[in-house]
Structure 1
Amino acid sequence: MGGRWKRLAVPAASLALLAGLVLFLRVDAVTVRLPRENNRLFAAVRVAAGDEVRLRYRHSVEKTLVEGVFVTGAGPVLQASETRMASVGSGLPNTRVQRTRREGSWLVVDEGLAPLKEGFDFFISAVNDTRMTISGTPVAVDTLASGSVIGIDVARIRLWDWILWRYGNLDWRKDGQ
């Protein structure tokens, strides 16, 4: 009987270590929530510091292409990196001459990695043809109904919660916050 327990000790210890990691290890994820639907989680993508979030859309007034580039920072925090636009006009950040440069057909405003402490919301409209990527992974915001609002942020969550979302589509926040 003693030999049997010795054979089980290593697998049992390994299993306990794995369970501890899954339950207590924290990972960062950029989240896309729907504030008008009780903050339902629409998408979440695991990220590391320095990963990019890109939100591209057609400006509803000027009809020019705009791309917001955000970076995940330590903490975690979402930071505004740059705003890229095909031209300037009403509602576009065209007053930052000292931080604006041209890259091919784009005018690029350096946003200085300004932290967005609570993320930001974005209005989805069919007119805007919105596209989003997180660390190069497309997020299907174009499938949302026109008039939807998305809340974009970054969060540190338990690996277990990430696994439940990734493989079971279960939101880790039950309180709707």
Structure 2
Amino acid sequence: MNERFIIDYQSPIGLIEITGTKAGVYSVLFTERDSLQYPLTEDKPKPLTDCYEQLDQYFNGELETFSFPYIIEGTNFQKNVWTALMDISYGNTGSYKEIAVSIGNEKAIRAVGSANGRNKLCIVIPCHRIIGSNGSLTGYAGGLWRKEWLLDHENKKHVPKQ
């Protein structure tokens, strides 16, 4: 079995826990912990340290697309939804209905929403870019305030951290 490693990343909108192996990152999720529990150390695998560095670049406004190795775990339907999410480019938004249509199942709007909520690679697979078809913010596992911040950040409304 592949040993799993964890690194905490302190973002401007809270602590993010990066989990993975030497082969790739499995999850990038907000945690409600207040303090770092898993610091970045030299013994962490390269996919995790690359993720950490790329998150830093993203939050500094220097990166729009992630390239570190990650491993997507889910059903085929979920993987199709998450792949479609990757087609929503930085600074843009889409709707559950648009994703359902793009995967060839326009009646699966609720299932798309459910898959979106199970995304374990937040920010990397940009589920925060999904908004209601009427333009309103919809649910986000990390909290609507984070979703709003991320969308504003990608539209250059937030000054990157120093």
Specify the TM-score bucket, using the shorter chain as the normaliser.
Answer: under 0.3
Bigger radius of gyration, 1 or 2?
1
Q: Give the alignment's TM-score, normalised by structure 1.
A: 0.26
Higher normalized helix content (fraction of residues): 2
Tell which has more relative contact order, 1 or 2 (C-alpha 8 A, sep 6+).
Answer: 1
